[in-house]
Amino acid sequence: MSLNKCLEIFLKYWPSFLLGIKTTLFVSLIGTIIGLLIGLLVGGLRAINVDDNSSKLKKFLKKIFNLISTLYIEIFRGTPMMVQAVFIYYLVYTNIIPWDKVVAAIFVISINTGAYMSEIVRSGIQAVDVGQKEASRALGVSNIDTMLHVILPQAIKNAFPAIGNEFIVNIKDSSVLMIISITELMFQSNSIAGTTYRFSETYFVTACIYLLMTSIASFILHKIEKSLSHTTTSLPQSDTNFSSISLAKEENS
């Protein structure tokens, strides 16, 4: 392998690499954001406990939701994203309606990430002191308002490193989506390697680009994490929680 050849390939085909980078970052970022929203919904609802005094209907619906969400999490965490992409893309394309490959890629990343985010959010919620919930209930705040205004904001801060890590993982794992011919970085690299017959040099350039993207993403996420930590420690924890509880109580009333 020649480093001069690597540089030559990069300089000659940089527009193709750039297109692949844009597509990779776009589907990874949008997929991670949607996956986080799915995780907040599923993880938050899974963490809400049904009181013994609740109606039989609420208890039944809670059991059904727990069953469906557990199946969703286990299926999408237990199967490779490549298999999910092929199955979902061609299932919809063949039996329902042809759809855009980028939309399909975002959909696959979103539901796959949502399964992981659900457990990340649930773990973040469990890390919040039980006293926060008890204080909210003492003030007459409902379970849902407590979850939205008190528990979830703290849970997201607790789970932010894992949430950021999911974005970095998605940048790398998006390479398997070349199986449905989306023009992400790995797809472009395969095309360049097939044209030049310089596989080692092309994939070395690709590896460097992936490393650069994940390093920049890690740096940015680390700065955000430090900012969140500084915000949390700059205010007394009890005052922050009391404000959240008071706000929830006001909106509930």
Q: Mutual orientation of helices 199-234 and 152-173 as an angle, nearest 10°? A: 170
What pLDDT does 135 receive?
A: 79
Q: How many domains are contained in the chain? A: 1
pLDDT at 234: 43
Per-residue confidence (pLDDT) for residue 231, from 0 to 100: 61
Q: What is the pLDDT of residues 37-50, one digit of tens each?
A: 999 899 888 877 77
Q: What is the pTM of this model?
A: 0.82
pLDDT tens by residue, 204-213: 999 999 999 9
Other residues' Cβ atoms within 10 Å of the Cβ of residue 89: 22
pLDDT digit string (tens) for 1-36?
A: 778 888 899 999 999 999 999 999 999 999 999 999
Give the pLDDT confidence score for residue 67 in this predicted structure.
93
Residues spanned by the domain of 12? 3-252
DSSP string, the chain: --HHHHHHHHHHHHHHHHHHHHHHHHHHHHHHHHHHHHHHHHHHHHHPPPPTTS-HHHHHHHHHHHHHHHHHHHHHHHS-HHHHHHHHHHHHHHHT----HHHHHHHHHHHHHHHHHHHHHHHHHHHS-HHHHHHHHHTT--HHHHIIIIIHHHHHHHHHHHHHHHHHHHHHHGGGGGGGT--SHHHHHHHHHHHH--HHHHHHHHHHHHHHHHHHHHHHHHHHHHHHHHHHHHS-HHHHHHHHHHHHHHHH-
Q: What is the mean pLDDT of the chain?
A: 84
pLDDT (0 to 100) of residue 219: 93
- Look at residue 53 in the predicted model and tell me its pLDDT: 72
Contacts of 36 (CB under 8 A, 6+ apart): 113, 114, 117, 163, 166
Q: What percentage of the chain reaches a pLDDT higher than 90?
A: 49
Report the distance separating Cα 72 and Cα 70, nearest Å. Answer: 5
What string of pLDDT tens digits covers the 253 residues of the chain? Answer: 778 888 899 999 999 999 999 999 999 999 999 999 999 899 888 877 777 777 788 888 888 998 999 999 999 999 999 999 999 999 888 888 888 899 999 999 999 999 999 989 888 888 887 777 777 777 777 767 777 778 888 888 888 888 999 999 999 999 999 999 898 999 999 999 998 888 899 999 999 999 999 999 999 998 888 887 766 544 344 344 434 434 444 444 4
- Give the CATH number of the domain where residue 75 resides: 1.10.3720.10
